[in-house]
Structure 1
Amino acid sequence: MTRRQEQLLAFDRLLTIMDELREQCPWDKKQTMETLRHLTIEEVYELGDAILDKDLDEVKKELGDVLLHIVFYARIASEHKAFDIADVCVSICDKLVERHPHIYGDVKVENEEDVKRNWEQIKLKEKGKTSVLQGVPKSLPAMVKANRIQDKVAGVGFDWEHPEQVYEKVEEELAELKVEVAKGDADKMESELGDVLFSIINYARFLKINPENALERTNKKFIKRFQYLEVKSREINVPLSEMTLDEMDVFWEEAKKV
């Protein structure tokens, strides 16, 4: 048996188990697309954590959880005679072929930027697409949404030419924020801070750094160092609330070396 045959058998087994659960398990029988939605989002975040932790065994498990949800949605849809998992596969296959004319057609590309531009232009031609930003989900977290917005408009040529220009924009937005902070207008400060964050996310894109990954890396680093500080606080039997900043800073510097 080839590996492809093993893969198909494994997927067939998953579909069979999904059918059995939907027909026999009280919890699975009760679920709807709406009740699964928040669980799916949670599973995707758990997958993201495993990827950032570079834990491939955990990535495998989380991918299984996400795949289960995909199969679950398709099974529910099939009960409403809307579509089934085969339709899902056909749909994504057709989309991939259509959006890769440099592989399945006669379009020539020089690099990945050409591929991205073609992708966005093809999407605009699809039925009902009147804006390149139409495909950005409204419920995305703000940082992820900003990154996607910038990616999409860049795909149709609305972009800076050099990273230095973007950095200058960051400095310009910081200066504008400083002016509004001095004035003390909360609404304008929030607006300018949003501009600062948007420009920094854009700069990250030019540096080919995913801002979400970069921030999460800092989150993890901060958590690790702060928890080290908490451990040391317990070791010397002095609550953090009773330590001076200078005392805490000693342990914080130690944490950087751990």
Structure 2
Amino acid sequence: MTDSAKKHPIEDLIAVMAALRNPDGGCPWDLEQNFKTIAPYTIEEAYEVADAIERGDMNDLREELGDLILQPIYHAQMATEENLFTIEDVIRDVTAKMIARHPHVFGNKSARTAADVNAIWDEKKSKEKSRESALDGVAQALPALLRAEKLLSRAAKTGFEWPGPEDVLTKFEEELAEMREALKNGTIDEKADELGDLMFLLVNFGRMLGINAETAMRDCNNKFERRFKMMESFFKEKGKELKSVSLEEMEAQWKVQKVKENS
């Protein structure tokens, strides 16, 4: 077997990225990029992977995973140029981390349930990272709903937790009353504050039920989009633009589409 036959495909991708960033003959666009300009693409690619999974499109998932894999290689190439670290360093570090955080697989710890695994993970993570607060380390750049869930989960592990979901709903009703009051004479900032409180409580309610708020919101967005397009198509077939259709007609057709979807 030749050396080229033994080479892992990822080595070719690393070489391609190095060539794109080569000042001598590289790509002008890639040469202009830095960590901050590439970060939005990293986030976007992660969302596109999640989207392909939710749609069940495995061909698209294969492509999107490739795009996502490119991102750490891109960042590592820029880091290599600044003598910070290499892609090999990144891979070695994450490999060591996974082994250290799974002593029930690679060591003599015992873990019979997923809850046991989570407890071991948290214990190892807290030892690795020195934090003054239980909430330290929850990334500011996370989507707001996801960050809220992580903050609430961290707080719950300290015992700062409602007894049950019903208690969260009771608090939600209190906050809803405050929102109604703010609607009467509150400022836009006061209304925004009350809206944030309501959303935060709903995230907590979902978390206590084992429902991820970010996923639930994406599913709701998809459902709204699907039903709206069905309603839109219904009126188009009748030669009507939505702008010329009354709200009552649209609501009636919306209910029809909802019944069709649920039947």
TM-score, normalised to structure 1's length? 0.86
Q: 1:35-65: CA deviations, max 9, x gaps?
A: 2112222212222211221212111111110
Equivalent in the alignment of 1:21: 20
Which residue among 96, 99, 104 is the counterpart of 2:98? 96
Kindly indicate whether residue 13 of structure 2 is the aligned counterpart of residue 11 of structure 1: no
Query: 155, 160, 166: which is aligned to 1:153?
Result: 155
Of the three residues 175, 191, 200, the one matched with 1:189 is: 191
- How high is the sequence identity, in percent, across the aligned residues? 37
Using the size of structure 2 for normalisation, the TM-score is 0.84
- The answer to whether the Cα contact below 8 Å between 1:173 and 1:192 also exists between their aligned partners in 2 is yes
How far, CA to CA, are the matches of 2:257 and 2:61 in structure 1? 28
Question: Which whole-Å CA distance do the structure 2 matches of 1:238 and 1:154 have between them?
Answer: 53
| Shift in Å, 1:71 | 0.7
CA deviations 1:104-139 (Å, max 9, x no partner) are: 344444532333333334333335422222211112
- Report the Cα offset of residue 201 of structure 1: 0.5
Cα separation, 2, equivalents of 1:189 and 1:12: 53
Equivalent positions of 1:51-200 (< 5 A) are: 51-182=53-184, 184-200=186-202
**CA contact 1:121–1:156 (8 Å) conserved in 2:** no
Q: Distance in 1 between matches of 2:187 and 2:203?
A: 24
Distance (Å, rounded) in 1 between the aligned partners of 2:90 and 2:160: 33
Q: Does 1:240 align with 2:242?
A: yes
Unaligned runs of 5+ in 1: none
| Aligned partners of 1:120 and 1:155 also within 8 Å | no
Answer whether contact 1:124 1:130 (CA < 8 A) is retained.
no
Q: Deviations over 1:210-239 (max 9, x none)?
A: 111111111111111112222233222333
d(CA) in 2 for partners of 1:109, 1:72: 37
Q: Distance in 1 between matches of 2:77 and 2:165?
A: 47
> How far, CA to CA, are the matches of 1:154 and 1:226 in structure 2?
38
Matches of 2:153 and 2:174, distance apart in 1: 22
